[in-house]
Chains A and B, each alone.
Chain A
Amino acid sequence: MELTGAQILLKCLEEEGVDAMFGFPGGAVIDIYDEIPNFSIEHILVRHEQGAIHAADGYARATGKTGVCLVTSGPGATNTVTGIATAYMDSIPVVIFTGQVPSPLIGNDAFQEVDIVGITRPCTKHNYLVQDVRDLARTVKQAFYLARTGRPGPVLVDVPKDLMSQKCEFEYPESISLRSYNPNVKPHIGQIRKLAQLIKKAERPLIYSGGGVISSKSHEELRWLARELRIPVTSTLMGLGAYPGDDEELWLGMLGMHGTYCANMAVNNCDLLLAVGARFDDRVTGKISEFAPHATIVHIDVDPTSIQKNVSVHVPLVADCKSALAALQKEMKSIKGEVNWQRKHEQWLEQIIEWNRLHPLTYIDDEVKIKPQYVVEKIYEITKGDAIVCTEVGQNQMWAAQFYKVKEPNTFLTSGGLGTMGYGFPAAMGAQRAFPDKLVVNIAGDGSIQMNIQEMMTVVCNKLPVKIVILNNGYLGMVRQWQELFYKKNYCATCMDAQPDFVKLAEAYGAAGYRITEKKDVEKVLREAFEVDKPCIVDVRVAQEENVYPMVPAGASLTEMLLV
């Protein structure tokens, strides 16, 4: 059957099981929009292309599926770049379709022309400029395959306008064979045995889990390993939820710059560090030469470039985390009887309790002022940890990571690698579209929420009842914190005391708005906001100069923590 390029593209999306895509129309993609009503894919019209890509990313993180966004050429395409880089840094599968000017005009500085393939080369896993309508179906198939396999990531497909109206026979390839792309997903069994022996010997083992555990869906294997062998677990920001944050015995909290005292001390004292799907980011390691100084380091990662990149690893294991942990589980079961795991790490776990007792994750509460940590704790209490929580970037993000005990994977969506302010709200929008009946809460700062506030209209129009809780301290808080601690309180350009009235703003969009200025109202108003059946903003006026602690100053060792 002959179809036009526009029909082929949409048919391919149906074949890939795409039920929703986020986008914004324009001249170069108008043919696709003309066909959308004839297909089963819901199109969610955003108010800015950055909203579209973050929403597709949020949808992908919440579901574990591939997110899709569609934008026009030129400015439409460039507006997605921040979101593409965000997805790239956090290894999120997203396919981005950009319109391009008609083929004969490419390279002629045509109206709304930009070399988006060139621009996004360094921040996509791969990208394509389709030059023949007959290549379109195969390209789309490849794009989805690349986005979700190996180390996932964003893939961009740039389609010239004239291809959209050209016709060819539609045939969707059943399989993909790329001779140059063969991610190594199966672990080397010799390395697995070596690792099993290391675990058997270790006195003070520690699991350091990252986002790769979530994207490979290997949290069950990780939990088995920790619980059966009684190994404590710490995690990166991206790994939150792989291990339940409410397990008070084995869960140490996040490590690194704003990690817990206990997790950082455990890294410093462990004799075996099992890194799974984590990449030793500088926010995690602190001073590299003093990172895990007494440990044999084992690193499981599907991406060979992550191994030996930042720290020297003793046992590298290139494999998909799920296959590797499943193989390890099998191996450990076969030697299980040889060790009394219930007792083996008793001393080590006692030491961990002691560290937690000495410096628990805490804050100095106040009778009058509303502490932002208190608000996050209340959100956790009210939602019982069953919500999907998104964050913006900065202090709000760190307080959310510290005080919201994420229990399940895919329920804590945050921009880890790129640190994109303005990410949380549109990501929440994508997550809410994926799970219309779940409570989706975006924990925001007053600075970052203003970066994509225009999407209020999208959530109102699409009846996506996202809850935005602004921890409003009138500052770009994290930069202000650095200025306070390391720049002699020179609060240059971080004071945001000129603000919109967020309650009126919410109401202007047709959403609900609440303001909390007194501590006694926090719980009551949050409950009301979470129950209302429409999107809302809760503007919480929190203590202005509250800081995120613990804090490891940049470049210091993990043991050099500033505590509350």
Chain B
Amino acid sequence: MKHTLSVMVENEPGVLSRVAGLFSGRGFNIESLNVAPTLEKGVSLMTIVARGDDAIIEQIVKQLRKLVPVITVKDFTQVQAVEREMVLVKVNAEDSKRAEILRITDIFRCKVVDVSIDELTIECTGDHGKIKAIVNLLSRFGIKEIARTGNVAMKRAMQID
């Protein structure tokens, strides 16, 4: 099962390597990893997506909490959370196909961020499913390049049963 872990860490040298090393050293796989500073000075937030059964994820969470620079670890699988990824897709867009690509872009509420004679670069933000869907749709035009962030997540303020 896929788990999204939100890990608050002290922003100090080597912390990313400590976290990543914990996963690799124990044979756990990271699907995606995002790190950025938070509002609080000296604190960064990592959003890690990992797969594993309950026992593996329990170990990961406990092991993460054991690292000295780790302040908190939350598993968003059990709570309602907003999750977003962003992707930049550079796609073949000759004149005959451009209109359709733009239609898809519109439907997905994406933005065209770069244009040339035969290429479009599209920015899309959304949950994992949406990103997967647009990449899938655009692939038939011929994707030339793709750059993708991992997941970022935040617990919803209101948890609805």
Residues of A within 8 A of B (CB): 117-118, 121-122, 125-126, 129, 131, 146, 178-181, 303-305, 308-309
Contact = CB atoms under 8 A, between A and B. Distances in A.
Given A118-B17, A121-B17, A308 B68 contact: no
Contact of A180 (B13, B17, B62, B68): B68
Contacts of B65: 304
A305 B21 CA distance: 16
A121 B65 CA distance: 16
Contacts of A309: 59
Contacts of B63: 305
Interface of B is mostly: helix
B69 interface: yes
Contacts of B14: 117-118, 121, 129
A129 B13 CA distance: 9
Interface residues of B, number: 19
Nearest to B69: A180
Given A129-B13, A180-B71, A122 B62 contact: no
B41 interface: no
B58 A126 contact: no
B70 interface: yes
28 contacts: A117-B14, A118-B14, A118-B17, A121-B14, A121-B17, A121-B18, A122-B21, A122-B25, A125-B68, A126-B68, A129-B13, A129-B14, A131-B13, A146-B68, A179-B71, A180-B9, A180-B69, A180-B71, A304-B62, A304-B65, A304-B66, A305-B59, A305-B62, A305-B63, A308-B55, A308-B58, A308-B59, A309-B59
Of B18, B21, B68, the most chain A CB neighbours within 10 A belong to B68
Interface string B45-71: 000000000010011001101101111
A358 B45 CA distance: 60
Interface string B20-45: 01000100000000000000000000
Given A305-B62, A308-B55, A180 B21 contact: no
Contacts of A308: 55, 58-59
Contacts of A303: 66
A180 B55 contact: no
A178 B21 contact: no
Contacts of B9: 180
B10 interface: yes
Nearest to A150: B66
Contact of A181 (B13, B17, B58, B68): B68
Given A126-B68, A131-B13, A309-B59, 8 more contacts: A118-B14, A129-B13, A129-B14, A178-B68, A179-B71, A180-B71, A304-B65, A305-B63
Contacts of A126: 68
B17 A305 contact: no
A118 B15 CA distance: 11
Of B10, B13, B14, B17, the most chain A CB neighbours within 10 A belong to B14
A121 B68 contact: no
Nearest to B14: A117
A179 B40 CA distance: 13
Contacts of B13: 129, 131
A88 to B, nearest CB: 12
A238 B59 CA distance: 23
A129 B17 CA distance: 14
Nearest to A318: B62
Interface string B85-98: 00000000000000
Of A125, A180, A303, A308, the most chain B CB neighbours within 10 A belong to A180
Given A117-B14, A121-B17, A122-B25, A305 B68 contact: no
Interface in B68-85: 68-71
A147 B121 CA distance: 52
Contacts of A118: 14, 17
Contacts of B17: 118, 121
Contacts of A121: 14, 17-18, 21
Of A117, A126, A303, A305, the most chain B CB neighbours within 10 A belong to A305
Nearest to B22: A122
The 7 closest A-B pairs by CB, nearest first: A305-B62, A126-B68, A180-B71, A122-B25, A304-B62, A181-B68, A305-B63
Contact of B66 (A129, A179, A305): A305
